[in-house]
Amino acid sequence: MAFYKHAKFLSRNPHENFDLLQEPGVDAADAGIYRCEVCGHEIGIAQTHKLPPQSHHTHAAGSGPIRWQLIVATQN
């Protein structure tokens, strides 16, 4: 879970990019914090950089593959 101290630096945004589950190894559509929807592992990444590959971290057998979800986007 991502943390923050000052709420004045965050705004709610209903953009559909927050609902997408992205595959490992694809270009990040947005810069920000991404969370693995299976295990909760989080990473920070710049826009257009590749999301970490399937081998980035491992899941318990049967829990499913890595899928990245944008949880906090940065503003340019």
pTM of this structure: 0.88
pLDDT, mean of residues 6-14: 95
Asked whether residue 11 is domain-assigned, the answer is no
- Confirm whether 36 is domain-assigned: yes
Strand-pair category, 32-36 with 68-73: antiparallel
Please give the residue range of the domain that contains residue 70: 18-54+63-76
pLDDT at 76: 75
Is 32 within a domain? yes
Is residue 3 included in any domain, yes or no? no
Residues 23-70: tens digit of each pLDDT: 999 999 899 999 999 999 999 999 989 999 877 787 788 888 889 999
Structure tokens belonging to residue 47: 């826009």
Assess if residue 30 is contained within a domain.
yes
Number of domains in the chain: 1
Token readout for 63 is: 């829990």
